[in-house]
Amino acid sequence: MSQSNECLVGNCDTLELLQGQLLSLQQEHQEREVQLRERIKELDCLYRLTKLIEENEDSLDQILLGAVELLPVSWQHPVITCARIRFREQTFQSNNFKATQWQQKAPLIVSGLKEGTVEVYYLKKMPRLDEGPFLKEERLLIDAVSNHIAKAAERINTLRQLQVERQALQDANAALHDSLVQSQRDKRKFAASIQGKIDKIISPILYALQKEMKTSQLEYLELLKKYLEDITSPFVEKSGLFMSKLSPVEFQIGNMIKYGLSTKEIARIRGISPATVNRHRESIRRKLDLTNRKVNLTSYLNNIVDESRQD
């Protein structure tokens, strides 16, 4: 073989070697490109799932509905991939769902308890890879999806429990408020009953005794009156806005008028003339801005008491 022929053969061998290396580089590049696309799909799946959870932070159903549609497009062969999520008594699945023997699943562990599963299926047989026909990266992805959903479920459960407890607390506060209001009404009603009996029954007797008592005994009578005033004072403070405007004598006569005693009855009980009682009545009307108004004094005083009982 001539030297030129040997060079030609050597060049051919070199060319074939270079072509082989180039083909190998091209295949490696294609493989890396495929791997890169798969990793991008996986990252996009987690990003969109995170956004889905943020947008539906109070609705787990919406999260599961959205997640089951995200899964198929994130796997290596989306055209033949379907997904299903089972959570407690509910099932969410993609439109093309069909359970097959080629499956990959991850449990949904919520607060330490298994509440369901995230499942991905291939609709036909594919070449065997790291985990059946699935990639090891797809195992990491389905585990991450399951973990994200479980944490979202825990957060939503906690928020709902807080809402229930908050509502229960509001209901309890409302019930307590109503109970306190009713208790105050009952107390005012009871005090009004006591005041009425004192004015109608006890006060006339005290005024009659006052006329018959010796000077040395009047001190005890005044002390008894003071004790009675102390007993009824909580009612007196709340039952009549008019009380603060009247003198002590007008206050007593106002109470008698309020409970329906006539001018003659008041005069007889207090030992004064009817004309004096009428002057007190006129003074009471003036202080209550009722002068020259066609308003019944007895009704007016009782209406004020009724309004105070409702406060």
Q: Which domains does the chain have, with CATH numbers?
A: 25-161 (3.30.450.40), 184-310 (no CATH)
DSSP reduced 3-state for 116: strand
pLDDT score, position 235 = 47
pLDDT score, position 238 = 43
89-123 pLDDT tens trace: 999 999 999 999 999 999 999 989 999 999 999 99
pLDDT score, position 239 = 46
Is a pLDDT exceeding 70 seen at residue 19? no
Instruction: Name the percent of the chain lying above pLDDT 90.
Output: 32
The sheet with strand 103-110 has its strands ordered as: 90-93, 81-87, 113-122, 103-110
183-222 pLDDT tens trace: 888 877 777 777 777 777 777 777 777 777 777 677 677 7
Angle at 298 between CA 293 and CA 301, to 5 degrees: 85
Check: CB of residue 209 under 8 Å from CB of residue 221: yes
DSSP reduced 3-state for 98: coil
CA 42 to CA 24: how far, in whole Å? 27
Token code pair at residue 161: 């429990």
pLDDT band at 228 (very low <50, low <70, confident <90, very high): confident
What is the dihedral sign for C-alpha 5, 9, 15, 18? negative
Q: Rounded to 5 degrees, what are φ and ψ at 62?
A: -65, -35
What is the dihedral sign for C-alpha 151, 154, 159, 160? positive
pLDDT score, position 30 = 66
41-94 pLDDT tens trace: 888 888 999 999 999 988 899 999 999 999 999 898 999 999 999 999 999 999
CA 4 to CA 12: how far, in whole Å? 12
Mean per-residue pLDDT over the chain, rounded: 81
Place of tokens 């099932």: 91
Token code pair at residue 174: 């409302």
pLDDT score, position 230 = 64
Token code pair at residue 96: 């093309």
DSSP reduced 3-state for 91: strand
CA 268 to CA 247: how far, in whole Å? 20
CA 286 to CA 264: how far, in whole Å? 21
Check: CB of residue 302 under 8 Å from CB of residue 257: no
